[in-house]
Amino acid sequence: MDILSARTRLLVVAPHPDDETLATGILIQRVLAAGGSVHVLLLTDGDNNPWPQRRAERQLWIGRQARARWASRRRTEFMAALGELGLSRADMTAMAWPDQGLTRLIAVDAAARVEALDAVVGRVRPTLVAMPALDDRHPDHGAAHVLMRLVLERQTPAPVVWLYRVHGGARRSCPSVACVADASTWARKRAALARHASQLVLSRRRMERLAARTERFEALPTEPLPTELPWAPRWPQRTCLRLTAAAAGGGAAWRWVHAPLHRQPGQGCRLAAEALPAGEGVLFVKLELTLPSPWIFDHWGWRELRR
């Protein structure tokens, strides 16, 4: 892992408190041991997490004040976990954006969010960014990838990007980097996980299993991008779907039945060029259900297209 040295400036993008530990707890320690620096960018405080909160606080109704209280608890746990990994308050930036709401932010306010993240990247000047893969099935993880890609396209020179998956996704056949750790490094990662006590209330075994996996990172894909949408939903399903698009100039969202699509017989659908968010570079699109559901993970998720 020659990229890790005293000159390494690692930026870890964590959609929620605990992602920094689960996905990069070993990597953080490896960079610090090499003499490099680490900064953790926390996008949400994980406040929309009602079932562990109901169990921990023994109350059924979770209102606004209760969510704020849970957010404060999770931020405190996050800071304690950073301490176990060798970091301090000065080594983090918290955006306090809505948990399970990052896709919506992209649709309505992408340009402002990209500007806010660009300011963080400009201050940290990372040489290496560890962030979620586009196809991580948690909606906030995929959205975090989109936002960061729109930011990193502005950077010259661009940092190296390593992608991690916490909640599944299709691992590609491209080479990946594994973070090897000794017993003491694993012990510190487990100690950091223990600091996220709120997340162990209902999911201790799952969290410990996720933390015990070898930390493995992939590079950004380099294969040619398609220009057509990869989905062709049928009635009546299409009446319950929302299509979101994001590019450098902002974001937009439509019900599928009202989306500005160009359909050609025997070929796929394309978004009308005049309806696309402004700006050069990559275009990201997402398909999701609009119906309420207890299942929070993505089924279709995000895709990257060529304009």
Which residues, 6 or more positions from 236, have their beta carbon under 8 angstroms from its beta carbon?
none
Same domain, 273 and 201: no
CA 150 to chain centre: 13
- Retrieve residue 99's tokens: 């948990």
Length of the chain as a residue count? 307
Residue 224 maps to a domain: no
Say how far apart CA 80 and CA 158 lie, in whole Å.
Answer: 31
Same domain, 55 and 117: yes
Domain-terminating residue out of 218, 248, 275: 218
Residue 63 maps to a domain: yes
Domain span at residue 249 reads: 237-305
Helix, strand, or coil (residue 200): helix
Same domain, 105 and 179: yes
CA 149 to chain centre: 11
In this prediction, residue 50 carries a pLDDT of 92
Residue 225 maps to a domain: no
Average of per-residue pLDDT across 252-261: 94
Total domains in the fold of the chain: 2
Whether the upstream peptide bond of residue 260 has omega within 30° of 0, thus cis, is no
Say how far apart CA 145 and CA 136 lie, in whole Å.
Answer: 9
Same domain, 245 and 180: no
- Retrieve residue 131's tokens: 């962030």
Same domain, 34 and 113: yes
Same domain, 172 and 263: no
**pLDDT category, 173, cuts 50, 70, 90?**
low
pLDDT: which is higher, 178 or 267? 178
Residue 226 maps to a domain: no
Q: Does the pLDDT value for residue 172 go beyond 90?
A: no
Q: Is this model's pTM higher than 0.85 or not?
A: yes
- What are the start-end ranges of the E strands in the chain? 9-14, 37-44, 92-97, 128-132, 160-164, 176-179, 215-218, 241-247, 250-255, 261-263, 269-271, 283-289, 301-305
Same domain, 247 and 284: yes
Residue 229 maps to a domain: no
In this prediction, residue 2 carries a pLDDT of 65
- Retrieve residue 141's tokens: 């993880």
**CATH code of residue 208:** 3.40.50.10320
Residue 231 maps to a domain: no
Same domain, 290 and 205: no
Q: Over the chain, what is the mean pLDDT?
A: 93
Domain-terminating residue out of 156, 190, 218: 218
Residue 42 maps to a domain: yes
> Over the stretch 61-93, which tens digit does the pLDDT of each residue have?
999 999 999 999 999 999 999 999 999 999 999
Average of per-residue pLDDT across 255-271: 85
Same domain, 195 and 256: no
Same domain, 40 and 167: yes
Same domain, 22 and 49: yes
Same domain, 251 and 279: yes
| Cβ atoms of 268 and 139 closer than 8 Å | no
